[in-house]
Amino acid sequence: EAKLGEYLVIARRNGDAWYIGGITNGESRSFNIDLSFLKSGPYRATVMTDGINADRFAEDYKKTTQTVTNSSILKIQMAPEGGFAAMINPR
């Protein structure tokens, strides 16, 4: 999904692994990413998102790991001029 000059969210697959990334312009954004494109079964999602102070300190980020399935929704919050990266691998 993308809107020229505003944001971009993209997903790519390599074998059974998925990589999702996104960036935004000077506005903060929230995204709910539907993972229905995954095959059935449990996956491990490692997600790096903007930290609470990322709008003032670009190196501030938060790393989380969670179990997801093809019925899960990843909730992402991006700081102004921020972004995120996620790696999703079968368990």
> Tens of pLDDT along 17-45?
999 999 999 999 999 999 999 999 999 99
In the prediction, which pLDDT does 37 show?
Answer: 97
C-alpha distance from residue 52 to each of 33, 40, 62, 76 (Å): 20, 33, 8, 13
Phi-psi sector, 41: left (phi>0), alpha (psi -120 to 50), beta? left
In the prediction, which pLDDT does 68 show?
Answer: 98
User: What residue ranges define each of the domains in the chain, with the CATH number in brackets?
Assistant: 2-90 (2.60.40.1180)
**Neighbour count for residue 72 (Cβ, 10 Å):** 18
pLDDT band at 57 (very low <50, low <70, confident <90, very high): confident
Considering the entire predicted model, what is its pTM? Answer: 0.90
What's the mean pLDDT in 59-76?
96
